[in-house]
Chains A and B, each alone.
Chain A
Amino acid sequence: MQSRGQNSLFYGVDRLTILLYVIMVLFGWLNIYAAVYNEAHSNIFDMTQKYGKQLLWMAGAAVIAFSVLLIDADFFTAFAYVFYGVMIVANILVRLVGREIKGSHSWFEIGDFRLQPAEFIKFSMALALAKFLSNQQIAINTQFRLRWRDLVKNYKNTFIALAIILIPLVLVKKLQDETGLALVFIAFFIVLYREGLSVGVLMIGMLVAILFVVALVVANTMSVLISLGVLALLSFLIIPRNGKNLLMVGLVFVMAAGVVLGSNYVYKKLEPHQKDRIDVLLGNKKDLKGVGYNVDQSKKAIGSGGFFGKGYLQGTQTKYDFVPEQETDFIFCTVGEEWGFFGSTIVIFLELFLILRVIFLSERQRSSFSRIYGYGVASILFFHLAVNIGMTIGLMPVIGIPLPFFSYGGSSLWSFTILLFIFIKLDANRLLILR
C-alpha cells in the first residue's frame, strides 16, 4: 500500500477542494479591494486599509492550513471534546475580558487585530458532534413514535446531540448577543438528519416554523385560529371518524393553536430591531430609512449590475458607501454590481460546488467520524451561503453572518479555513484507516 510521497504533506489531499478554496479567497480579496477602494489609498499593501489587512489574514490562513495538514488526523478525533470544551470556555471568557464593539462583548483584541471566538466554535462543535454520533451503535432515534416509556431510552442520545448544538447556541446568543452567529448552529440539524434524525421530527419542526411565520404575516391571530379549526373539521371528511382520530386531530389542533399564540408571544418578546427586521422581510412594514435601508440599498446595488456588471472598480453603489457593511456581510453587493448576473452566478456556483464536493467526499469516508464531520462542514457553509446571499437579495431577514471565503474578516476566514482543512486532512487520511 506504500506509494511514493505517502509521507508528503499533500498526500491524498483533495486538490479540487483546495483549488476551489484558493479561487474563492483570491476572488473575495479582489472584491474587498473594490468595496473599500478609494483613490487615495490604492496600494494593495496599505495596512490602514481593510484590503491590506485582509492580505495579512490570508497569509495567516495559509499558515493555519499548512499546520492543520501537518497535524496527525487522529489528533482531531482524540481531542474533539477538548476542542469543544476549550471553545466553550473561550466564549465565556470573552464576555469578561473581551472588548465591547457595537454593544456586544464578543471580540478578543490584539493590537490592531481582533478575533471573535464565536466563529471558532463551529469546527469544535462539528468535531464534538462527529465524535459523539460516531461512538453510538444507533446514533440517534430513527423512528418517530410517541411512546412515553421508551422516551428516555430512545431519545437519550438525541437529547445529548441536541445539547451539543444548543449549549453554544444559547451561550453565544445570551452572553454575546450575536444572534447571527448563534443561528448558524441550527445548520447542524442537517447533520442530524443525515445521521438518522426522524423525518417526522424535522417535519414537525418545519411545520411549526411555517405556522409561526403565517401567524406573523396574518396580523389577525383569530382568523388563523379559525382557519385551523376549519381545517381540523375538514380533515374528518377524509379520515375515518373514530375516537382515536378525534383525539389525534384535537391534539394537533391544540398544538397548532399553541404555536400561533406562541408566535405572537415570542414576537412581543423580541427586541425592537429584531421585530423590525422580521416586519420588513414579511412586508408588514416599509421602512427605507431604518432596517429596510440596508436591504434596499443592497438590492439597488445588485440590481443595477445587469448581465456583465459595471466592471471592476466601476460600481457606484458599493464604491461610494451606499451599502453598509459592504466589505463584510454585504460583500455580495460588490460582486452583484461590478460583475453582474454572470459573476454572481459564478460565485454562487463556486460555493455550491465546494459544498457538494464536501458532501461527495464525506460519502466516500469509511469512518463515520469523518463523514459526520464532513456533513458538519457542508451544512455550516450552506447555512452561511443561503442566509448571507438571501439577505442581500431580500429573501432572508438581515442576519449578520459572513459569506464564506469572500467577506472581509480574519475570524471568519480563519474559522472557515480550519473547518475546511481539518476535513481535507481527515479525507486525506481515509486510505490509511484501513491499514
Chain B
Amino acid sequence: MSNVNSHLADRKYFIGGFFILVVIIYIVRLFYIQLIDDQYKIGADKNALRRTTEYAVRGYIFDRKGKILVYNEPSYDLMIVPRETKGCDTLGLCAILEITKEEYLKRIKKACQHPNSARKESIFEKQLSKETYAILQEKLFRFKGFFFQKRAIRKYPKPIAAHLMGYVGEVSKEKAKKDPYYREGDYIGKSGIELSYEEALRGQKGVQYQITDVNNKTVGRYMKGKYDTLAISGKPLYSSIDAELQEYGEKLMRGKKGAIVAIEPSTGEILCLISSPTYDPNSLVSGKERNKSFARMYADTINVPLFNRALTAMYPPGSTFKLIDALIAQNDGVINRSTFYPCQMGYPPMGGKPKCHSHGGGKSLVGSIAVSCNSYYSYVFRDIVDQRKYPNFVDGYTHWRDMVKTFGPGTRLGTDLPYDKPGNVPSVEYYNKVFGKGGWRSNTIVSLGIGQAELTLVPLQMANVVAIIANKGFYYTPHCIKGVGKEKYLDPKFKEKHYAGVQKQEYYDIVIEGMEGALQPGGTAFASRLKDIVVCGKTGTAQNPHGKDHAVFLAFAPKENPKIVIACLVENAGFGGVWSAPIVTLLMEKYLKGKTDRPEIEKRIMEANLINGSILITDDID
C-alpha cells in the first residue's frame, strides 16, 4: 500500500500547483477588472446614481426702455418609468394624449430600448399643452408609472424680433457629446441672441445625485450631497432694441421682402433689426409646434422667412455706395467741392454706360449726391483708380479696395449676433481670374463705382456706413445687447472706436450736404422729407440680375448730433426713393418724435404688397 503510495505521492505537488495556478489566474483577473479597466466603475455609477437636474431659469431679455421682449413660461414633459406602468389606464391616457394604442406601445418600447432602462425614467411626451396638462394632472393617479417633469419654455409678449431673438431648442447630439455641460434633452440657444448669449442666458443648472436601487427607487443622496449643486438663474439681458420701433418697422415691411437696420451712431447700439418676411417667435418655442412651423417655413423657398436678411443677405449697395466714393476721392485729392463732370443720360466715355436718369445735365460734387448721378461716379471711380501716383492701375484698384474696406464692406463686422456675412469687395485675383491678367482696365469695372457688379454688402454694413458718415469718420461695432446681467456688463470690444480711412471733417460735411439735398427739391427722396427734422439720406437702386431692382435708402437724422441711422432695403421694389425712403423717414419720426404725422404715406406703405416671387441673391462671391 505504502509502496504504491510513494510514487503517487508526487502528485500532491501537481494538485497543489494546479490549485495555486488557478488562484493566480483569478487574482490577475481581479487585478485587471478592479484596478486597470475603468469600464466597470463607470457602469456601476450609471447603475446606481440618478442625476436629477434642476433646470435654471433662462434669463429674460429687455428692450432699451425696459419692456420685456422674452420671458419664460412653465411647461411640463410627461415622463414614464415603463416597469411601473402595471395597472395603468392605458386607454384613458391614449384618449387624453390623442394617440393610438399602437403609438402608445411603440413609445413604451422605445423607452425600454437600453438595458435596464425599463426601470429608468424617460420622456413620453414633450411639452404638454396647458389643457392636456390640466386634464392629466387631475387624473394622474390612474396612470401608474407616469409623472411630470417641469421645464420652462420661452414666451414673447409681442410677436416681434424673431430673427433677432433666435430660438431655443433641444441640444444636438454632437454638441451634447462635445460640451460636458449639456446632456441630451437639454435646451440650448439655436440662433440669434439666444445663441450668442447662451452662456449668460442659460445660467447654471443644478444637479442632485441620488443613489437608487435596482428598481430605480431612490434610497439616499450620493456622498451626502457632496457633489450636488444648486441651479443658478440665467442673467437678464438689456438690449438696445426699441421694441416699439421694431414692431412699427415690421408692420411697415409687411408684404415686402427686405431688411431694415437702425443704429444709434454715437454708440453703435442697434435700435431695430428687421428681416422681412418674419414670423411669430412664439411658433418656435415648443417642440411639436416648432416642428410644424419649421417644416412650413423651410418649404417656403420663395419668402425664406427663416433667412435673416439683415445679417446674411448680400445685396449690391447700388447708388448708396457713391457716398464712399465721394469720401475716398476727396481724401485722395482727386476731386473737390467744385469738381464738375458731364452726364449725357449716362457715362460719356463708355458711350452712355452705365446709364443715368434725367436730372438736368452735369453736376458738381454736392449735386451729384443729391441727384445720384451715375456718370459722375464713374468719373470719380476712374479718378481714384487711375491716379498718377500709382503707375500700375492694379495698385490704384488695390488702394481703392483697401479704402473701401475701412468702411466695413468685405469683412464681418463682428457684431454680437451670430452668422453675419462679410459682403464682398472683389479682389484683384478675382478679376485676374475672370478677365485674365492685364485683361481689365478701370473702365472694365467702372460699375463698381456706382455700387453694382460684384460689390455686395449686407444691410447691417450699409447702416454702419451711414453711421460712419453721421459720426464723421468712426464707428462702434454694432451690437444689440447693451448690458449683460444686473451689472450691465458690456464687452469692451463694443466700446472701442473704429476709424474709417477718411478722417477730414470737411469731406464728410460736403457729403452730408449732398445727402441733405437728396430730401430737398430736386433730390431723389424729396417726397419723403420731414417738416421738422433734417434728414440726410441717399437713395440707391440696386440692380438685381434675377428680377426687379432692389430699393435702398440710407439715412441719418437729425443732421446735427445724429440720433439714428437707418438702412432700408426692399427687394424688387424699384427706385429707392419710392419705397425705402418713406419707410426710413417714418421710422425716424417714430423714433425721434414718438409718433408719425403722415398717415397717407403710412397707409400706402403698409398696404403695399410687393412680393412677386422673384429670387434673391444669397450666394457668396469671392
Contact = CB atoms under 8 A, between A and B. Distances in A.
A and B: interacting chains? yes
B12 A352 contact: no
Nearest to B47: A322
Contact of B40 (A190, A303, A340): A303
B44 interface: yes
A389 B29 CA distance: 11
Contact of A303 (B20, B37, B115, B212): B37
A305 interface: yes
B111 to A, nearest CB: 15
B45 A304 contact: yes
Given A320-B48, A320-B213, A363-B12, A303 B33 contact: yes
Interface residues of B, number: 40
24 contacts: A142-B8, A194-B15, A296-B43, A297-B47, A302-B33, A302-B34, A303-B37, A303-B44, A306-B34, A307-B35, A316-B47, A316-B211, A320-B211, A322-B47, A322-B213, A322-B214, A336-B30, A340-B34, A355-B19, A356-B16, A359-B19, A382-B22, A385-B23, A395-B26
A341 interface: yes
A37 B367 CA distance: 95
Given A194-B12, A194-B15, A356-B19, A341 B34 contact: yes
Nearest to B219: A320
Contacts of B5: 368
A190 B48 contact: no
A67 interface: no
A215 B9 CA distance: 36
Nearest to B214: A321
B31 interface: yes
Contacts of A348: 23, 26-27, 30
Interface in B30-78: 30-31, 33-35, 37, 39-41, 43-45, 47-49
Contacts of A82: none
A289 interface: yes
Q: Among B5, B25, B33, B39, find the residue whose CB has the most chain A CB atoms closer than 10 A.
A: B33
Contacts of A340: 34
A194 B14 CA distance: 9
Interface string A359-378: 10001000010000001001
A8 interface: no
A306 B42 CA distance: 12
B40 A302 contact: yes
Interface in B292-351: none
Interface string A372-409: 00010010001001100110010100000000000000
Shortest Cβ-Cβ A-B pairs, 8 listed: A303-B40, A304-B44, A320-B213, A316-B48, A303-B33, A321-B214, A288-B115, A300-B43
A195 interface: yes
A380 to B, nearest CB: 12
Contacts, number: 122
Nearest to B44: A304
B211 to A, nearest CB: 6
Nearest to A301: B44
Contacts of A352: 19-20, 23
A299 interface: yes
Interface string B455-498: 00000000000000000000000000000000000000000000
B47 A317 contact: yes
Nearest to B20: A352
Contacts of A341: 30-31, 34-35
A320 B214 contact: yes
Contacts of A139: 4
Given A139-B4, A336-B34, 9 more contacts: A138-B4, A195-B8, A304-B43, A306-B41, A316-B49, A321-B213, A352-B19, A356-B20, A390-B26
B30 A345 contact: yes
Contacts of A321: 213-215
Interface string B177-219: 0000000000000000000000000000000000111110001
Nearest to B25: A395
Given A322-B48, A363-B12, A304 B26 contact: no
B1 interface: yes
A196 interface: yes
Interface in A321-351: 321-322, 336-337, 340-341, 344-345, 348-349
A interface, over-half SS = helix
A159 interface: no
A137 interface: yes
B11 interface: yes
Q: Among B23, B31, B115, B219, find the residue whose CB has the most chain A CB atoms closer than 10 A.
A: B23
Contacts of A322: 47-48, 213-214
Interface string A242-281: 0000000000000000000000000000000000000000
B27 A345 contact: yes
Q: Among B19, B39, B213, find the residue whose CB has the most chain A CB atoms closer than 10 A.
A: B19
A304 B115 contact: no
Nearest to B115: A288
A303 B47 contact: no
A288 B113 CA distance: 12
A302 B30 contact: yes
A18 B495 CA distance: 85
B1 A137 contact: yes
A359 B34 contact: no
Contact of B34 (A307, A316, A317): A307
A214 B15 CA distance: 25
A344 B33 CA distance: 12
Q: Among B39, B44, B49, find the residue whose CB has the most chain A CB atoms closer than 10 A.
A: B44
Contacts of B40: 299-300, 302-304
A368 B11 CA distance: 15
Contacts of B47: 297, 300, 316-317, 322
B11 A193 contact: yes
A317 B44 contact: yes
B15 A193 contact: yes
B439 to A, nearest CB: 68
A368 B1 contact: yes
A304 B1 contact: no
Nearest to B29: A393
A306 B38 CA distance: 9
A341 B40 CA distance: 14
Contacts of B26: 348, 386, 389-390, 393, 395
Contacts of B35: 306-307, 341
A303 B41 contact: yes
B15 A393 contact: no
A321 B119 CA distance: 13
Contacts of B16: 356, 359
Interface string B532-562: 0000000000000000000000000000000
A363 B214 contact: no
A304 B41 contact: yes
Contacts of B20: 352, 356
B211 A393 contact: no
Contacts of B43: 296, 300, 303-304
A195 B7 CA distance: 10
A194 B15 CA distance: 8
Contacts of A300: 40, 43-44, 47
A304 to B, nearest CB: 4
Contact of A194 (B11, B45, B116, B211): B11
B30 A289 contact: no
Contacts of B41: 303-304, 306
A293 B117 CA distance: 13
Interface string A188-201: 00100111100000
Contact of A289 (B25, B39, B115): B115
Nearest to B22: A386
Contacts of B29: 393, 395
A8 B27 CA distance: 41
Contacts of B15: 190, 193-194, 359, 375, 378
Interface in B99-154: 115-116
A27 to B, nearest CB: 17
